[in-house]
Amino acid sequence: MKLLQQLTIPADTLAQRFAGAKVLVVGDVMLDRYWFGDTHRISPEAPVPVAKIEKIDQRAGGAAHVARNIACSGGQASLLSVTGDDEAADALQTLMSDCGVNAHLIRDTSIATTIKLRVVARNQQLIRLDFEDEPTEAALHDKLQHYRDLLQGFDVVVLSDYGKGGLAHVRDIILSARDFCKPVLVDPKGSDYMKYESASLITPNRAELKQVIGEWKSEAELEEKAQRLRDKLELDGLLLTRSEEGMTLFRQDNIETQGTRAQEVFDVSGAGDTVIASMALSLAAGLNHSQAMHIANAAAGVVVAKLGTAVCTQQELFNA
């Protein structure tokens, strides 16, 4: 194993490459809503804190957050997903438009758009409330057809799987991209990774990878198990995000590790979205896997120092 070398591409050159890179993000979207307030007392009705809400915020989550990260880093991002036909979908469409993402939202009148509502007091989550439905087969079929129509106009495809049903046709999506020689990056979910076979790269975290390959007692055992999985799935690479241990890139010819770049970890929610967004944008801009990992690690170090599903701007990335 070797330590990843520093990136030496000038910032202005990198910015130009990012500006020409086109990434299509497909997967599960959600609206992250935050109710911020303070709590000073316990409810007389039950032993729970009473939160006095003082501020309400909403942000794009899931695949929408991946697309937002790409756009904020200076790339050309488009989003394809299924939502309900409701106020939350309207909010997502507006949020995507505001940050420069071209959103193709297939409206399914039979479901509600996924919402994650968090109540936050003194920078601590008190509770999270989830509202979600799985899309209908008809809406998923429309999405797959729309995907095939869009595909040729992009350099890289990202599949953001949150297990909400939006990637039921993941095998068709990957094979269609491979037919046009488009790299496919996957943020995986669940224990069945065979559905991601023939993708270019997957980006599990430690907990997600352990679901598939089991525990490991040493670095050598991790390397052996991760490489076996990469070979089995016929992947070009497997990028393992390791929290405070940084990240490791497993490829057929080598294994590279870079330590964490975060100075202070404040909130890891959404960091995986930033990692795959940065990897996809970098590869679409013509960088190699090692260079892309360096950029992804720097971007992740920026966002974990922020609260909630935050993004890393291009200037923050270059400063990092």
Residue 40's contacts (CB-CB under 8 Å, 6 or more residues apart) are 50, 52
Q: Is 294 in a helix, a strand, or coil?
A: helix
**Residue 188 DSSP one-character state:** -
The structure tokens listed for 40 are 């000073």
For residues 238 and 252, what is the distance between their CA atoms, to the nearest angstrom?
10
CA distances from 116 to 30, 58, 167, 179 (A): 7, 10, 19, 36
* Position 273, amino acid: D
Backbone angles phi, psi at 116, to 5 degrees: -115, 115
CA distances from 141 to 45, 67, 82, 136, 174 (A): 48, 22, 10, 9, 15
Q: Which residues pair with 83 in a beta bridge?
A: 107
**Residue 18 DSSP one-character state:** H
Which residue among 28, 155, 161, 273 is the active-site one?
Answer: 273
Q: Is 273 a catalytic residue?
A: yes
Put residue 6 in one of left, alpha, beta given phi > 0 → left and psi -120 to 50 → alpha. beta
- Long-range contacts: 34-37, Cβ < 8 Å, 24+? 34/58, 34/59, 34/117, 34/118, 34/120, 34/308, 35/117, 35/118, 35/119, 35/120, 36/120, 36/121, 37/119, 37/120, 37/121
Q: Which residues pair with 217 in a beta bridge?
A: none
Residues with a known catalytic role: 273
